[in-house]
Amino acid sequence: MNPYLWVLVLLSAGLVAISLARLRRTHTGTDFLVAGRSLPAGVLIFTLLSSWIGAGSLFAGAENAFHNGMAALWMPAGGWAGLIIIYFVAPRARRFAQYTIPDLLETRFGPATRLMGIIAILLAYTAITSYQFKGGGDILALITGVTPTQGTAIIAGFVIAFTALAGMSSIAYLDVAIGLIATVGLLAALPVLLAHAGGWTGVERALPATHFEVLGRLSIWQALGYFLPVFLLMLGNQNMYQKFFSARSPRDARRAVVGWVIGTVILETVIVVLAVIGSALYHGTPGLKPREIIAYTARHGLPVWLGALLMGAIFAKVVSTGNNYLFSPATNLVHDVYARWIRPQAGEKEILIASRWIVVLLGMFALAQTRQASVLTVMLYAYTVYSAAITPVVMAAFFWKRATRQGAAISVGLGIVVTVGWNVIPLIARRGTGAPAAILHWMRSMDAIYPAMAVSVLALLVGSWCTPAPSPEKLEPLYQTT
C-alpha cells in the first residue's frame, strides 16, 4: 500500500474511533443537535476553524489563486472582516441559546420568515456539501486510481455515515483532531514547497506579474464580488451560530472567536500561497484541473511522507466541512419541520432516529448536485443565496429594533428569488437579439451578490418602515440580556 493511501486509512480509522467514542454520549435530541450545550472555548475554536476551511478554501480558493495569484486573498479577506463583527455577536447568540437560525428568525420575525429561512439554508448548505464531496472525490482519484465520480460517491457515503453517528458532539471533537492535522500539514509543507520552487524569486519568475498585485487581473468590482459573499456568509452563517448555541457559556463563545480569527488568517493565507507556488511549478501540466492544484502539488511536489500528510489533511478538512454543512440543514428539518409540524409529540429517542434518517436523505440530495465542473462557481452561488436571504435579517434581529416581520419576510423571499434567478435564467435562456440579449449579457457579466443584496436590504428597510414597529414584548427575548 502506498504511503498516501496508508495515511488516508489511518486517518479514517482514527475518525471512526472518535465518532464511536462520542456516540456513547449521544442519548437525546439535544445531545445530537447542540452537544448538550457543553463545548468549551478550545473545542469551539477547532470546530469553527475546521468547518470554515474546507473544499471552499482548498479547492475553490486554490482554483481562484491558480488563475489570479495573490489577488485570490480578496475572497478569504471577506471572512476575516466578518469575524470582527462576529466577535460582538457571539455572546448575544449564546445567550439566545436556541438550536438554529430559523429559531432566531421566528422569535424575532414570525413563522413565515422562519419557513423561507429554512428554504434558503437548504439551497445553500446542500450546495456547499456537494463540493466537499467533489473535492474528496478528487483526492481519492489522485491517490487510488478510482475515477473522480467513484471517489465522490465513496466520500459522500463516508461523510453521511459520520454525520449520522453522533451529531454535533461527534463533529466538534472530530474537528479538534482534524484541525490539528491540517494545521501541521499546511505549515510544514509551505517552506519545503517554496524551496522546491527556487524560493519566492523563482515563483515570481514563473508567473505573470499580475499574480503578485493587489487586484491582479481583477477589477475592483470583481474583487468585491469575491469578498462580499464570503463576508456576508460569515455574518449570518447558521453553522457558526449553531456552534455558539453549543458553547458552555457566552464567555467561551467570545473567546473562541479570537482563536478562530488568528487561525483563519494564518491558514487561509498559507492555502493561497501554496496554490500560487503550485501553479508556478505545474501550470502547464496537461489535464491538470486548477481546483486540484494543492492536492496535485502535495502528490508530486513534496517528499512522500510530507505529501501524504498534506493530502491527508486536505481529505480530513473535506470530511470535516462536509459533516458540518450536511448536519446544519438536517438540524433545520428535524427541529424546524419534523418536531414542529409533522410530529410535535415526538420524544427524544424518536427525534434522534429521525435526525439520522434526514442526514442520509440530505446527503443523497447533495450528492445529486455534484455535476457542476467549477467548485468556485458553485461556492459563489451558495454563499450568495445564503448571504442575500439570511444575513440581512439575522443582523437586523440582533441590532435593529425597528425591523418588522413583514420587512424580514419580504427580504428573505426576494433574496432567494433574485439569487436563484440571476444564476438560472442565463443558463436556460437562448440568445436572441435586442433587449433580451442585452439583459442576458448584463446578468452574465454582473455578480449576483450586487442585485441580490441590494434588493434584499431595500426590501427589509422599506418593508419595516412601512409597517408598525414590533412591540416591546416581541423584542424582549433578544434584548433583555444584552
Q: Are 375 and 134 in contact (CB under 8 A)?
A: yes
Q: Work out the burial of residue 352: count CB atoms within 10 Å of its CB; fewer than 13 is exposed, 13-18 middle, 19 or more buried.
A: buried
Which pLDDT does position 39 carry in this prediction? 64
Q: What span, in angstroms and rounded, lies between the C-alpha atoms of 114 and 98?
A: 14
Which pLDDT does position 34 carry in this prediction? 47
What single DSSP character describes residue 301? S
Q: Are 415 and 385 in contact (CB under 8 A)?
A: yes
First to last CA, the chain: 57
- pLDDT tens for 384-441 read 999 999 999 988 988 899 999 999 999 999 999 999 998 888 777 654 444 567 777 7
Determine how many CB atoms are found less than 10 A away from the CB of residue 101.
31
Which pLDDT does position 38 carry in this prediction? 56
* C-alpha torsion sign, points 447, 450, 455, 457: positive
- pLDDT tens for 349-397 read 787 788 888 989 999 999 998 887 678 888 888 999 999 999 999 889 8
**CATH superfamily assigned to domain 3-373:** Sodium/glucose cotransporter (1.20.1730.10)
Which pLDDT does position 27 carry in this prediction? 52
In the chain, domain spans: 3-373
Which pLDDT does position 192 carry in this prediction? 94
Q: Of 38-42, 242-246, 284-288, which one has max mean pLDDT?
A: 284-288
- Of residues 481 and 361, more confidently modeled: 361
Mean pLDDT, the chain, integer: 84
Which pLDDT does position 107 carry in this prediction? 85
Q: What span, in angstroms and rounded, lies between the C-alpha atoms of 209 and 222?
A: 19
Find the length of the chain.
482
Q: Are 110 and 412 in contact (CB under 8 A)?
A: no
pLDDT band at 277 (very low <50, low <70, confident <90, very high): very high
3-state secondary structure 119-144: HHHHHHHHHHHHHHHHHHHHHHHHHH
Q: What is the pTM of this model?
A: 0.81
Which range among 150-154, 220-224, 290-294, 328-332 shows the weakest confidence by mean pLDDT? Answer: 328-332
C-alpha cell at 347: 420524544
Asked whether residue 326 carries a pLDDT value surpassing 60, the answer given is yes
Asked whether residue 93 carries a pLDDT value surpassing 70, the answer given is no
- % of the chain beyond a pLDDT of 90: 39
Number of Cα atoms under 13 Å in the Cβ half of residue 41: 14
- Pick from 117, 132, 133: which is nearest to 335 by CA? 117
247 three-state secondary structure: strand
Range 240-260 average pLDDT: 75
C-alpha cell at 386: 445564503
